[in-house]
Amino acid sequence: MSIEKPIRVVVAGPRGRMGSETVRMIAGRSDFVLAAACDHGHDGEKVQDLLGIPELNARVYSDIEACLTEVRPDVLVDFTHPEAGKRNLQAAIDYGVRSVIGTSGFTNDDVAGFKEQMERKHLGGIIAPNFAIGAVLVMKFSQMAAKYFPDVEIIELHHDRKKDAPSGTAVKTAELIETSRRPKRQGAPDEKETLKGARGADVDGMRIHSVRLPGLIAHQEVLFGGKGELLTLRHDSMDRTSFMTGVAYAAQTVMRLDTLVYGLENILD
């Protein structure tokens, strides 16, 4: 009986909140092995010294191309920032490495361009704004509900260190809602903001509101209003471990894909 080899993973952004949690997840599983990490300014160090995890002696590289050339991993997991994430994904494509990208800031044109390249090389990859299974289910349920409740507002709440607003999760939720909801202007016909931005961002008439406060991690509430009723869909991540089931599932799934998928909901059974 043959035993499958563990998936060899490189993590870009290992000192970040999501990157460090991913490293710890890999350390606790037998089906993954941390092949290396990529972190600007720490070339030649060991992950165990960088994060204080004794059993991880994988090397840290500052150059993604040198890392992929020398290590030859199966999968790159990236939790960096938009510019680095796009650069790292391009390097992964160039070196034939499958990818799991949790970095936000990819436009539809970006995704289309990377997808075309990856299909030519039969490479699997996933870009996901959220890896929490519950959050993804809220997106899917919102898409279903919008067919019957076209009046909807999205409130996303995150920690005060998050740089983008609205969140990628909120944007993805709105995109899914758009597929089953006709554009509709909400609120009073003569509505007027006495403070600019009070009604939030406008997406085909629905509204998105962003909250940034210390103490929060990642939360989203989708409110649907109807005659005499209110439907509320909410998900709360109180700890970043909530994202790791999705990250692990994505890293396993890209090994079987030959294209780039945008959104974890597209690979859930």
**Can you give the pLDDT of all 269 residues of the chain as single tens digits?**
445 799 999 999 999 989 999 999 999 999 999 999 999 888 888 998 888 887 788 999 999 999 999 999 999 999 998 899 999 999 999 999 999 999 878 888 999 999 999 999 999 999 998 999 999 999 999 999 999 999 999 999 999 999 889 998 999 999 999 999 988 989 898 999 999 999 999 999 999 999 999 999 999 999 999 999 999 999 999 999 999 999 999 999 999 999 999 999 899 87
Question: Of the candidates 146, 140, 166, which has an alpha carbon nearest to the alpha carbon of residue 266?
Answer: 140
pLDDT of residue 63: 96
pLDDT of residue 226: 96
Please state the pTM of the whole predicted model: 0.85
pLDDT of residue 163: 85
Active-site positions read 158, 162
pLDDT of residue 12: 97
pLDDT of residue 2: 45
